[in-house]
């Protein structure tokens, strides 16, 4: 679960939505659009790191680890996610 005190203030308005969507479908990868990037948090950051070598940043606890990709990379990574059997949603 993400908490508002553990993420960049730019995403505070999306934290509740991220938590709701992750609770409803924990296997779906959530791409959060923030300032020209898609960011991945918690277990989704771990997935992107493991599958596609997208580096993780932030802390060492689930709610602070994140990774990201530029918006221009959307097609490249979503095709890879789909090919690997992942489902995803953009918020």
pLDDT of residue 59: 58
pLDDT of residue 68: 87
Domain extent at residue 27: 4-90
* pLDDT tens digits, one per residue of 26-54: 999 999 888 888 988 888 888 888 888 88
Residue 6: band (very low, low, confident or very high) from pLDDT cuts 50, 70, 90: low
Predicted TM-score (pTM) of this structure: 0.75
Closest C-alpha among 82, 13, 77, 88 to residue 44: 88
Closest C-alpha among 72, 16, 63 to residue 44: 63
Number of domains in the chain: 1
pLDDT of residue 18: 80
Residue with more model confidence, 3 or 53: 53
CATH code of residue 79: 3.40.1170.10
């Amino acid at each position: 679960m993400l908490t508002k005190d553990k993420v960049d203030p730019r995403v505070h308005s999306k934290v509740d939505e991220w938590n709701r969507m992750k609770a409803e479908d924990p296997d779906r990868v959530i791409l959060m659009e923030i300032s020209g990037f898609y960011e991945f948090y918690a277990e989704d950051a771990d997935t992107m790191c493991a599958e596609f070598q997208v580096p993780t940043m932030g802390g060492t606890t689930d709610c602070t680890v994140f990774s990201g990709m530029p918006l221009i990379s959307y097609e490249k990574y979503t095709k890879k996610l789909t090919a690997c059997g992942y489902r995803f949603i953009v918020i």
